[in-house]
Amino acid sequence: MSTYRYNTALFDLDGTLTDSAEGILNCTRYALDKMGQQIPPDNVLKGFLGPPLVISFLTICGMTEEQAKEATRLFRVRYTDIGLFENRPYDGVREMLERLKAEGIRLATATSKPEDYAVRILTRFGLIEYFDFVGAATFDESRHDKIAVLGYALDKLGIKDKNEAVMVGDRSNDIDGAHHYGLKCIAVRYGYGNDEEFRSHRADYIVDTPDMAADVILGINR
C-alpha cells in the first residue's frame, strides 16, 4: 500500500457510497416491460449497475440508440420518485467520510448519475455535508460517461497535479476513467465489481471496506 497521502478523493456513488441495486434493477425491469422487451435474468440485469443507462441498454439489450434513449426516459419515470430511494449507504461509509473530512481531505463525487439525482440521494441519507463538490452527469446525456464526468470534476476542482487526487469506485469504468486522467484508482470489493474486473483493468488498489479505502487515501499502513 502506498504511503502517499492524497489531498482530494473523488467517489463514485452507486456501488461505492450507496447500495442502489434494488432501485436500478426495478426501474430497468419497469422500462423494459413498458417497451414490450424481454426482461433478462438477474445475472444479466446486474450489468446495469455502474455504467451509464444508455450504454447499458445499447450493449446489454441490443437496442438502437433511439430505443435506448426511450428506455432511459421510462427508467427515470419510476426512478425519480420511487427507485431513487430504493437505496441505502453501505455500512462504514459515513464513518469513512467523517474520518477523511477530519483529516482535511477534500471530497467530491464523480458519478454517471444525473446531478439532481446525486444531490437528492446524498441529501436524503445525510451524506452531502461531507462533500465539497458534487460531480455528476446531465439529463441530456451531454455529460454522461465516467471520463466526461471526471474531466468536469477535475476542472471545477482546479486539480492540476493528478498525484494529489485519487478515484474511489467499484467498476471498470471508474478505473478506466481515472487512468485516462493519470489518476490512481481504489477499487472497492463491497460494491458491484469483482477482482477479475479490477485486475484486468489494472486497479491501483483493491480494498474490502470503506475504512480500508480511507487508509489508502491517508497513506496509513496496517
The one catalytic residue among 12, 145, 170, 174: 12
The values of phi and psi at residue 185, to 5°, are: -130, 130
**Secondary structure of residue 35 in the 3-state scheme:** coil
Return the C-alpha cell found at 40: 433478462
Alpha carbons 192 and 212: distance in angstroms, whole number? 17
Alpha carbons 143 and 5: distance in angstroms, whole number? 30
Alpha carbons 165 and 131: distance in angstroms, whole number? 15
Q: Can you say whether residue 159 is alpha, beta or left, with left for phi > 0 and alpha for psi between -120 and 50 degrees? A: beta
| 91 belongs to the catalytic site | no
Q: Tell me if 52 sits within 8 A of 145, measured CB to CB.
A: yes
Sign of CA dihedral 108, 138, 77, 57: negative
Residue type at position 22: E
Alpha carbons 48 and 25: distance in angstroms, whole number? 7
2's CB contacts (< 8 A; 6+ apart) are 184, 205, 216, 219
36's CB contacts (< 8 A; 6+ apart) are none
Q: Which residues are catalytic?
A: 12
